[in-house]
Amino acid sequence: MTLALHRRALLLGSAGLAAASLSAAPRKALAQNAPSGPFTLPPLPYAAAANEPHIDARTMEIHHDRHHAAYVNNLNTALKDHAQLAQQPLEQILAKLGEVPEAVRTAVRNNGGGHANHSMFWEVMGGRGGTPSGELAQAIDRDLGGMDKLKADFNAIGGRVFGSGWVFVTVDRSGKLALASRPNQDTPLMEGGRVLLGNDVWEHAYYLKYQNRRPDYLAAWWNVVNWDKVAQRHAAAKTGTLTI
């Protein structure tokens, strides 16, 4: 083999290796730049494609690996000079925002809320929809008028959120349920409440697939709710062990 041909073969081989690793590069970069600090990005508890076709895998990847990761990173940055505060559980920090130093309070509110909301969000998805059973079903019938009314009211509230925000079902220590919405990354945790489940109505949660059709996204989202996980959260609320 001539020197020119040998050099060309080496170049082609290098290009092939680079192409083979290209798809893994974004994930590797994310791992290398993972936020350092007391708060960490929880992994998705299922494959990014698990919610297809209702929520596409690419949206899940961007939403989790970029948006949620940014909230965690920014929260750690905001608290890097507040070690005592940073060691507290997130739900306690959010419930006592007034005690957070004013210089970082807005950053903690936005990014701590974003971290809590998204950690809950991944947990209650990855299912196949349907309907709950047992005590959770009874609570929905008692407090929210049944599944059909819950879905209709929840979707209507989510559709009315102006700009970015969330729609939630809240739960108290007695297991009682209620509907609520919050702007931006605010959460009922900020008033000492607890969230049973919630849906993200920021555009980054649905725009790749649904564009401006938020009602279609809200309706489709029920197909990926994991009612077993939601029932576990309901039970934990009643025992006082539900955190975020």
Dump pLDDT digits (tens) for 40-85.
999 999 999 999 999 999 999 999 999 999 999 999 999 999 999 9
Q: How many CB atoms lie within 10 A of CB 244?
A: 18
Identify whether the C-beta of residue 182 lies closer than 8 Å to the C-beta of residue 117: no
Domains of the chain, by residue range, sit at 57-244
Chain segment 203-216, per-residue pLDDT in tens: 999 999 999 999 99
Who has greater pLDDT, 35 or 82?
Answer: 82
Chain segment 85-113, per-residue pLDDT in tens: 999 999 999 999 999 999 999 999 999 99
pLDDT beyond 90 at 16: no
The CA-based diameter of the chain, rounded to the nearest angstrom, is: 82
Question: What is the dotted CATH code of the domain comprising 57-244?
Answer: 3.55.40.20
The torsion angles phi and psi of 198, rounded to 5 degrees, stand at -160, 160
Which of 175, 150, 170 has the alpha carbon at shortest distance from 235? 175
pLDDT of residue 35: 46
108 forms beta bridges with none
Place 37 in a pLDDT band, splitting at 50, 70 and 90: confident
pLDDT of residue 7: 40
